């Protein structure tokens, strides 16, 4: 389970409710091109499996679940772990990709103004619903 953000080149709307049924995403490029851009921004990222990148840092991490359609990457999902700089790293990914993120917990576009509250709510949910190991 993780805090998830869908990364895509969404149209310039304020809410996903404004998206029309026939909207389409502008592709980022080939998976190799997308991985190269991410690796330039985060040299420590591990893409040994090109479908699933892993970035572990001090107390936080990102997982990149790469999506492809007909050999082109239109979107990918970030799974966020830990705290502190993790949300700043998400914003950096969005900036590097020229994209917007959809916070999959709230169905609102990712913003550093609102993401901390969403992330805190997700952490609270995770902590309340996690299976505790017997003592």
Q: Tell me, what CATH number does 119's domain have?
A: 3.30.310
Q: Which domain holds residue 106?
A: 3-8+23-127
Looking at the 3D structure of the chain, how many domains does it have? 1
Give the pLDDT band (50/70/90) at residue 30: very high
Model confidence pLDDT, tens digit, residues 116-135: 777 777 677 766 776 665 65
In a domain, 68, yes or no: yes
SS3 annotation, the chain: CCEEEEEECCCCCCCHHHCCCCCCCCCCECHHHHHHHHHHHCCCCEEEECCEEEEEECCEEEEEEECCECCEECEEEEEEEECCCHHHHHHHHHHHHCCEEEECCCCEECCCCCHHHHHHHHHHHHHHHCCCCCC
Q: Is residue 95 part of a domain?
A: yes
Domain-embedded: residue 133? no
| Chain segment 41-54, per-residue pLDDT in tens | 999 999 999 999 99
């Amino acid at each position: 389970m993780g805090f998830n953000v869908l990364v895509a080149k969404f149209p310039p709307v304020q809410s996903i409710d404004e998206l029309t049924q026939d909207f389409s995403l502008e592709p980022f490029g080939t998976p190799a091109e997308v991985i190269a851009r991410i690796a330039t921004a985060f040299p420590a990222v591990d893409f040994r499996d090109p479908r699933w990148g892993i970035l572990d840092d001090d107390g936080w991490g990102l997982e990149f679940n790469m999506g492809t359609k007909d050999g082109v990457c239109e979107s990918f999902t970030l799974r966020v772990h830990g705290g502190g700089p993790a949300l700043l790293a998400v914003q950096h990914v969005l900036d590097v990709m020229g994209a917007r993120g959809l916070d999959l917990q709230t169905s609102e576009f990712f913003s550093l103004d609102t993401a901390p509250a969403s992330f805190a709510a997700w952490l609270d949910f995770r902590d309340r619903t996690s299976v505790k190991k017997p003592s």
